[in-house]
Structure formats: structure tokens, C-alpha cells
Chain A
């Protein structure tokens, strides 16, 4: 079985450009998560969906960041007007139903904002 698939693996954007990151969760998993990892902040929760519905976006920066899950097979994280401080590894993860289950991570998208 394929794991969580994230594309692209690496993305370089100029300051002020838009970046869209894609995630395909494990088939049959109803909970999908986005995390961000940096050296300074560590692993930060951004948002999660269950059965495609947004459940908790408490970690999402209030401006410029948005996440969607238009169908059960993919989710997107969009960052508008990217800034150098957005540079990080963005990790998507999924689990069977969310509660009391450790999500399984994809390989991540390394975003570099120049």
C-alpha cells in the first residue's frame, strides 16, 4: 500500500508568490493533517480534516494560509504572498479515523522562499 503522497517534494518560490502544496492521504483514512516543521519551532500542527470536513485549524496562521480537502483523495495547502519565514518542511499525515490514532506522515514538501 502506498503511504501518504506529497507533491512537490521541493518548491522554491520568490517572496510574494503563491505556493500550493498537495497531499494524497492513505486510501481509507478519513483524517488528514497538515504540520509544519522547522529547526526553531519544531513540529507545529496547522490543521486537520475528518471526512473532508475541516475540524480544527487552530494552528493555521490567520492570514495567507488556507487548506482545503475537495475530495477524499487529496488535500491542498495554499500559501499566498509567501514570505521567507514560511520556509519549512510541510508535512501531511493521515490516520484511519483520527482520535487516539497516531497519524502516518508523508515525506513532506520542503518550501524555500527566497
Chain B
């Protein structure tokens, strides 16, 4: 049972464009939503996270947009660089639990 879904499975953008990665969830008790990125041969690394008290979280070129009503959130990577090429995972956990449920991942390729 997949509780967090990601799309697209893969995405290619040109250098300088904004990459948009999408996630949706089913469980309305989820209340914390981190994004990780993973480079080949490495483990997932925390990128940015949001709690639903906010509908937007920015950190440099990375922005999370959150829509609680539609149970969707997205990661926008502005001015994409070739070094951003990686697999991106969204995740969610339930209030009172530390267990993170991960999406399937989006493989991002930034072409120069």
C-alpha cells in the first residue's frame, strides 16, 4: 500500500529552468513532509522539509509548496544546475510517529 506517490518518475530540464517535482498523500494525519535527494552511490540526504502550518518553505533555490486541502506538495528547484541531477524522494510521517513513508522517487536530469 503506497501512501505517498510521486510524479513524474523521471524529469529532464535544461540548465537554468525550474524543475517541479510532485507528491501526493492519502493519510490526513500526516503532518511532516521532508524531501531528500540521492546521488548515485550515496545515501539519501535531507534537502528541505515543511510542516502543514505553512504552505510554502524556501531554502535558496529550493521551495516546497504545500496544499493541505488537496493533500499535495511539490518541490520547485529554481535555476536548475547539472549538479542538481539526482533522485529526489518526498516523504511523510504521521503525527506522533517518527516513521517516514517515502515516495517512489523522481530521477531528475539537468542538461547543459
Residues of A within 8 A of B (CB): 31, 33, 42-43, 45, 48, 50, 55-56, 58-59, 89, 91, 95, 98-108
Contacts and interface: CB of A to CB of B under 8 A. Distances in A.
Interface stretch (B18-26, B41-49, B55-63, B77-85): B41-49
24 contacts: A31-B98, A33-B98, A42-B102, A42-B103, A43-B44, A43-B105, A48-B98, A48-B99, A56-B98, A59-B99, A99-B32, A99-B96, A99-B97, A99-B98, A100-B31, A100-B32, A102-B46, A102-B91, A102-B100, A104-B45, A104-B46, A106-B43, A107-B43, A108-B43
Interface residues of B, number: 25
Interface string B4-48: 000000000000000000000000000110101000001111100
B74 to A, nearest CB: 17
A43 B37 CA distance: 12
Given A99-B96, A100-B32, A100-B93, A91 B43 contact: yes
Nearest to A58: B99
Nearest to A100: B32
Contact of B99 (A45, A104, A106, A108): A45
Nearest to A48: B98
B101 interface: yes
Contacts of B99: 33, 45, 48, 56, 58-59
